[in-house]
Amino acid sequence: MLKVVEDEKLIARYARLFTKSFRPFVDEKIRAKLGHQGANFDAKVAWSKKLNLWIFSQATRGVRYWNVFGRGKPPASGHLTITAEINFPWKGIDRKTGAAFARDRQNRIYVIHRGKIGGGKKGVGKSLFEKNYRGIWAWMEDGDSLSQVAVVGLLGSERFALQAAGFVEKIEKLKLAASRSFQTSLDFPEVFFDGLRVGNPPSSAPDEEIYAGDHDLVVGQLASLLSRRKYKIGNDERLELFMMRPASDGVSCLFAVCADRREKSVLAAAAKLLLEKSTRGGHPRAILVLPEEEANRYAEPMRRISIEVFGYRPEGEKILFPDLDLAGFDRD
């Protein structure tokens, strides 16, 4: 379980590391107008083509660390619409501030978000977030209470900026979907891959630790690689990724990504794959995607229950899939 960071000096240190994490990705600084209607000011925002994100950070002494994000390259001197805010209190616990730092038992520091999203539109708020956000959720000791929070990413990871960019992209999609519907629950009737479906909803019982900080990145990167190879992919409320047969509505492959190395999580992912396989016609392949070391360990026992195992490994900012070229998808 996580524990919120309250110390003023530690928050200051982690806030500096937070902003520093994006600097290697910045391509240029662009002057634009930032703020809400009636309260605009000139600002230089940092633009990253790789993240498809602009970023602006400002510390207000004694109040908060303000970090705002938007998607797409901003026009010079244009007025920018804020997609998401990841703000930290100056010190202590402030549940009105959207984000916080939290520590696990191994002293790893995570950026968490309480789900307070705005935008001035009907249906956009914490309720929308809690009902529809899929990602990494964790329970956190929040002073004298327990809170369930969304994990933005692992601070200090080489992939933290990518994790944060993925969080902002999901917030953008949630807001866009809410603006197209008066419902607070979102429906996805067509077969296609959508990052909003990647990850888990809030859980009912507290878990001990977080093990899957790269989960969304692994699913997204695998989906991107398959799409680039012209395979038709999709996902739904039950499965984060599947592949369709060419010129057919049938599903040829089911994927389950388990970035969590614990045996109970690997076995749970395998069981889910088998259940999904039993409900889908056409005898699709079931593929369990694991960290490379675990893939080697589980390959043989999973093969005996008709589950293939693919390995992946992080290398800096990248996620590599060495088994993908040997998959033989073109024969499906």
Report yes or no on 322 lying in a domain: yes
Side chain identity at residue 76, one-letter code: A
Q: Does the residue 33 lie in any domain? A: yes
| Number of domains composing the chain | 2
Residues 45 and 183 in one domain: yes
As a whole number of angstroms, the distance between CA 314 and CA 95 comes to: 34
- Predicted pLDDT at 238: 87
User: Has residue 47 been placed in a domain?
Assistant: yes
In b/e form, how buried is each residue of 294-304, taking b as 16+ CB within 10 angstroms?
Answer: bbebbbeebee
Domain final position from 163, 197, 231: 197
Question: Which pLDDT value is given to residue 185?
Answer: 47
Amino acid occupying residue 309: V
Q: Which of 36, 28, 78 is nearest to 54 (CA)?
A: 28
Do residues 157 and 220 both lie within one domain? no
Distance CA 181, CA 164 (A): 26
The answer to whether residue 310 sits within a structural domain is: yes
Supply the pLDDT for residue 291: 93
269 and 321 in a single domain? The answer is yes
Are 162 and 24 in a shared domain? Answer: yes
> What is the C-alpha R_g of the chain?
21
Task: Pick the last residue of a domain from 133, 164, 197.
Answer: 197
**In sequence order, what are the residues at sequence separation of 6 or more whose Cβ sits closer than 8 angstroms to the Cβ of residue 189?**
none
CA distance 175 to 121: 9
Longest Cα–Cα distance in the chain? 65
End residue of a domain, out of 162, 197, 232: 197
Residue 272 main-chain phi, psi, to 5 deg: -65, -40
Looking at the fold, whether 109 and 178 belong to one and the same domain comes out as yes
Q: Are the C-beta atoms of 102 and 114 separated by less than 8 Å?
A: no
Residue 205 lies in a domain: no
- Both tokens of 168, joined, read 């902002």
Instruction: Name the residue range of residue 104's domain.
Output: 2-197
Distance CA 294, CA 312 (A): 10
Do both 150 and 238 map to the same domain?
no
8 Å CB contact between 280 and 273 = no
Low-confidence ranges of the chain (pLDDT < 50): 182-186, 188, 208
- Please report the pLDDT score of residue 24 as a whole number: 96
In angstroms, what CA-CA distances link 236 with 93, 107, 214?
37, 35, 20
pLDDT attached to residue 12: 98
123 and 249 within one domain = no
